[in-house]
Amino acid sequence: MHKPGSEEEEYFARENAEKMRKLAAEQRAHLAESEKAKLRQLHHKRCPSCGMELHDVTYRNVKIERCFACNGTFLSSGEFEKLAKAEPKGVMSDVLRLFEHKHTP
């Protein structure tokens, strides 16, 4: 029996993250600059779940993006890392480890 957060679970999550990272890099490489700009404009400060406006809330020096329409809470690049660093043995650090990669995509 495997408890949540087992080595096996971590292994598969890491494998999957690596596949997703490669796929995203490929997709990004094939998009034209104009298409990237259009997507940025369309999605900037919009909830990735429901599309409503995101609001910045800064707490303990961490910028959190909150959608008050659906209560989704999001972290930009670098903010998750700050939370993980604050608690090296916490769940955020465990989750962050799933996405660590040693080599470039």
Q: Residue numbers of the site for Zn ion (CB under 5 A)?
A: 47, 49-50, 52, 67, 69-70, 72
| Least distance from Zn ion to the Cβ atom of residue 50, Å | 3
- CA–CA gap between residue 45 and residue 101 (Å, rounded): 27
| Least distance from Zn ion to the Cβ atom of residue 74, Å | 9
* 52/86 with CB nearer Zn ion: 52
* 72/96 with CB nearer Zn ion: 72
Given a contact cutoff of 8 angstroms between Cβ atoms, the answer to whether 27 and 20 are in contact is: no
Sorted by sequence, the CB contacts under 8 Å of residue 93 that are 6+ apart come out as 84, 85, 87
Dig out the tokens for 63 from the structure: 């910028």
| Least distance from Zn ion to the Cβ atom of residue 35, Å | 24
* 69/86 with CB nearer Zn ion: 69
